[in-house]
Structure 1
Amino acid sequence: MVSTRIWTVPNALSMLRLVGVPVFLWLILSEHDTAALIVLALSGVTDYLDGKIARRYGLISRLGQLLDPIADRLYILSTLLGFAWRDIIPWWLVIVLVGREVFVGALAPLVRRHRLPIPPVHFIGKAATFNLIYAFPLLLLGEGDGVVADVALPIGWAFTWWGTGLYWLAAALYAVQVQGMVRHKKAVTA
């Protein structure tokens, strides 16, 4: 059951993640990589914990359903922009991933026009976010020197490629979900 409660542990964790976004961006742009890595890792841990706690203890809330994906998107966007600014990733990757968000966002007017609920997040979308959130710390570690950097960089890029592919697959599935909901609503009201 989804509650309307605001002050829950999962919501507090999501709010903490949101506060961390500008801190992380400042750290990455000012090349405080170790601190940025810690903030990014903590974001990944709290992202995992907020969902786990919400499901385990029945603390799923409407606010949490909004905050969690917003925090995910803001971390991904701030990481993409910060990394591209520092030449850790190419700008075309930013365009590919932001383009996916634009594609999904373009479906919002259709959902609103037909007064449809927002489709639930698909497992593939969660897997895509997982891959990207874990790719970024590895790419940052790959910027260093030594064995850790040599190992982290290819693993980071593997997570990046998987995450990017899954991100677009999730967008396509979302479009199919919306199309099916629209067809169903038209059939019911006809």
Structure 2
Amino acid sequence: MTRTSRASARTAKSVEERILTIPNALSFVRLLLVPVFLWLVMGPKWDELALIVLMVSGITDYLDGKLARSLNQTSKIGAILDPVADRFFILAVVIGLGYRDIIPWWLAVILPLRDVFLFSLVPFLRTRGYSSLPVHFLGKAATASLLYAFPLLLLGDATGTVADLANVFGWAFTVWGVALYWWGGILYAFQVRRLMATTTRVQRS
């Protein structure tokens, strides 16, 4: 390996290991907003502020991925932090909406149950030297659908024409989001199965 290639490898590694980046900061902000949303919905029931929190979460979710690519600020911690922030926010929202009886409890259970299912696959991945696999586009589409659905369902917890329309569109996005969420999870499980069949076990020292 030449001196130039070694320098390039070190640079690439340092880029991957960066922590203080704009996309990571946005993901961290999204994590901080999780307890804020829960308090607003379950405590004083300030739905207007809760809607603003949801919109900010959706905007930061869009921006962190876009900025990571456009500013060349992708990193290992970002690849973990972004989906973790999404999972925690989805969990917080279904708990809050379930608590308010805006969504049935079976729906509040079936969404995080998919993440429990995927987490159970991690030990199998580790036997092949992986901690995770690339996120499937269906998972991204499902998250986007749910981030549209939740504000609409919260807005629909009122009376009037606007609330009725929000409720209809909110449930439409919810149905699509849940279906895509689980479909993406099943495809992820097939990816793990294919990896197990085509790669050898990593020997632990």
> If the length of structure 2 is used for normalisation, what is the TM-score?
0.88
- Matched pairs, number: 189
Asked if 2 retains the 8 angstrom alpha-carbon contact of 1:136 and 1:156, the reply is yes
- Percent identity over the alignment? 53
Q: Indicate whether 1:171 and 2:189 are aligned.
A: no
Q: 1:72 to 1:97 in 2, by over 3 A?
A: same
1:18 paired residue among 10, 31, 36: 31
CA RMSD for the aligned pairs? Answer: 1.6
State the one-letter code of the partner of 1:32. Answer: W
State the one-letter code of the partner of 1:180. Answer: R
State the one-letter code of the partner of 2:135. Answer: V
Question: Could you give the per-residue CA deviations for residues 99-128 of structure 1, whole angstroms, max 9, x where no partner exists?
Answer: 211111110111112222511001000000
SS in 2 for 1:186: coil
Bigger radius of gyration, 1 or 2?
2
In structure 1, the partner of 2:196 is 182
In structure 1, the partner of 2:4 is none
Q: Indicate whether 1:137 and 2:151 are aligned.
A: yes
Separation in structure 2 between the aligned mates of residue 177 and residue 162 of structure 1, nearest angstrom: 22
Separation in structure 2 between the aligned mates of residue 114 and residue 121 of structure 1, nearest angstrom: 18
Q: Indicate whether 1:152 and 2:190 are aligned.
A: no
Separation in structure 2 between the aligned mates of residue 164 and residue 3 of structure 1, nearest angstrom: 32
Separation in structure 2 between the aligned mates of residue 38 and residue 14 of structure 1, nearest angstrom: 17
> If the length of structure 1 is used for normalisation, what is the TM-score?
0.95
State the one-letter code of the partner of 1:168. Answer: W
SS in 1 for 2:199: helix
Runs of 4+ in structure 1 deviating by more than 2 angstroms, as ranges, are none
Deviation, 1:134, is 1.0
Q: Indicate whether 1:104 and 2:155 are aligned.
A: no
Question: Could you give the per-residue CA deviations for residues 18-72 of structure 1, whole angstroms, max 9, x where no partner exists?
Answer: 1111001100112110000000110000000000000112111111111111110
Q: Indicate whether 1:120 and 2:134 are aligned.
A: yes
In structure 1, the partner of 2:88 is 74
1:44 paired residue among 34, 53, 58: 58
Q: Indicate whether 1:5 and 2:18 are aligned.
A: yes
The answer for unaligned runs of 5 or more in structure 1 is none
In structure 2, the partner of 1:83 is 97
SS in 2 for 1:79: helix
Separation in structure 2 between the aligned mates of residue 135 and residue 180 of structure 1, nearest angstrom: 33
Separation in structure 1 between the aligned mates of residue 113 and residue 26 of structure 2, nearest angstrom: 28
Asked if 2 retains the 8 angstrom alpha-carbon contact of 1:125 and 1:166, the reply is yes
The answer for unaligned runs of 5 or more in structure 2 is 1-11
In structure 2, the partner of 1:27 is 40
Separation in structure 1 between the aligned mates of residue 164 and residue 28 of structure 2, nearest angstrom: 34
Separation in structure 2 between the aligned mates of residue 107 and residue 117 of structure 1, nearest angstrom: 10
Asked if 2 retains the 8 angstrom alpha-carbon contact of 1:116 and 1:181, the reply is no
